[in-house]
Structure 1
Amino acid sequence: MEFEIETGQRGSQICIYNSHRYRHIRNNKKGSVSWRCINKECSAAILIDSNKFVIEKGQHDHEPHQNLEQQCIRGMKRRAEQETTAIPKVYEQESIKFFMQTAGILPVFNSVRSSLYRCRNSSLPVIPHNLTEFDIPDDWKKDNLGGDFLQINVGTDARLLGFVSQCGLERLAEAKHWNADGTFYTAPRLFSQAYTIHSLTAQSMKPSLFAALPDKYQTTYTSLITNLNEL
């Protein structure tokens, strides 16, 4: 069976043989080269002599590298379905973990990007076509601590959503100054703008309320503040 030599992420040589990866140990006097499994807990090794003949030493106690790679990608897909962590972040975290465990290199992000986003979309509610059929699941109305988060939900055609936690409400109540601003570039689909209100606490501005607004009319801003004051 043939072997391949490739360069790892840090410039070190990696030998691939029988779907396993080996790190370079040393060049021996008679022209042979010693390699050991990249899994630090595995004692399997190979010796490649001057005639390019491979001599195996010991048995692997883990799956071949290709299987580990597939397991890693399946783990990414599982996280994409179960978490809300950004897809590029999931790939980055799992790639680092994979490299630390195996010194292997995963396929580039673009080669798995579509499949990861398909997994993410399969676990998300269907994107509505208009605001009248816009229904938010109960789980998405809560914050990470299980408290109410979607506390403003008014209107039909001109839907207004306001997300604020109990901690955010307390900061707003205690603050002497609020700063508010909106952006149209990152507005959720079907909405006109994303709007935030920050509270000044201990000389720092902290985001306290996040809103999705249907337009930029004064009546909409008034409705947001009125509903906020009633909480």
Structure 2
Amino acid sequence: MDRVIRFQTSRGRDAIFYDGYSYWFDRRAASGDIFWRCLRDGCYGRLQTNVNLNQPMVRGDGHLHARNPEEGIIRPSVARMRERAATENTPIPQIYQEEANRLSYSASASALLPMLQSIDSALYRARRSNFPPLPRTLSEIVIPQSLQSTESGEEFVLLQLQDNNIMVFGAPSDFDVLCSASHVYMDGTFAACPELFRQFFTIHAFFGERQKIKFYKKQFDVLWPLDFCQLRMYALVYK
């Protein structure tokens, strides 16, 4: 007997895959049995299981489409992507690539896996579900306590003016790196900046043993960003 595979839809609804078809939760009977409805719109396929998803029993007039065995691999894989997007800080493209690599054992499933561009909106929506909404004005900016320190417990918000015109982020240990660095690099950008601010200013330095990356057959040293400043002003003035 085919195994029942459980997953969640993009809208967070309980769903299962069985015998080449996908179903979403329909209702629960007084006896505890669960009734499932085919995920395809307009399809009459129905399934009944007990509370442990055992003893599946096909109900209704049957499906209006052919079986798709790969759905039992693809849908749970996409559901894992959404779950990871909501619970991890791993970049969305990296999550997609890692989950896609897990399907390498099935050439047919890998070929049918949706492209990132077709599901990235759902993944980013899942990620936003665990974060507060973006502020529309400077006065609405409130940094949650969980985001005010690093994973090692260091304070991360170095400066936040009362009117939020200037915000500076970085760990105190970063200053030790800056003080010991032979060269410090600074850069301000206006293009890649949060909407409420006009400038994003960063400070970089080499940290520990220099690392290199290869780009177009050339070797480049890796600079580590240490401090970040978001500014409403157009320039920094040093005295």
Q: Same fold (TM over 0.5)?
A: yes
Gaps of 5+ in 2: 1-18, 22-68, 211-220
Report the RMSD for the aligned CA atoms in angstroms: 2.5
1:27 aligned partner: none
Q: Which region of structure 1 is more displaced relative to structure 2, 181-190 or 141-150?
A: 141-150
Higher helix share: 1
TM-score (norm 2): 0.59
Match of 2:77 in 1: 72
Equivalent residue for 1:151, pick from 158, 182, 185? 158
- Structure 1: which 4+ aligned runs deviate by more than 4 Å? 200-205
Q: Deviations along 1:18-72, whole A, 9 cap, x unmatched?
A: 649xxxxxxxxxxxxxxxxxxxxxxxxxxxxxxxxxxxxxxxxxxx532221111
Shift of 1:155: 3.6
**Where do 1:3-152 residues align within 5 Å?**
19=20, 65-100=70-105, 102-103=106-107, 104-105=109-110, 106-152=113-159
Q: Which has the larger radius of gyration?
A: 1
1:215 is aligned to 2:220: no
For these two proteins, the number of residue pairs brought into alignment is 159
Whole-angstrom distance in 1 between the partners of 2:206 and 2:116: 40
1:193 matched to 2:199: yes
Taking structure 1 as reference, are residues 74 and 217 closer, same or farther at Cα in structure 2, changes over 3 Å only? same
Counting only pairs closer than 5 Å after superposition, residues 172-183 of structure 1 correspond to structure 2 as: 172-183=178-189
- Corresponding residue of 2:176: 170
Letter of the aligned partner of 1:112 in structure 2?
I
Distance 1:114 1:176 in 2: 43
Residues 154-209 of structure 1: CA deviation (Å, up to 9, x unaligned): 240x5211111233121112235432110111112211111111235677753221
More deviation, 195-204/120-129: 195-204
Amino acid across the alignment from 1:193: Q
CA distance in 2, matches of 1:122, 1:195: 28
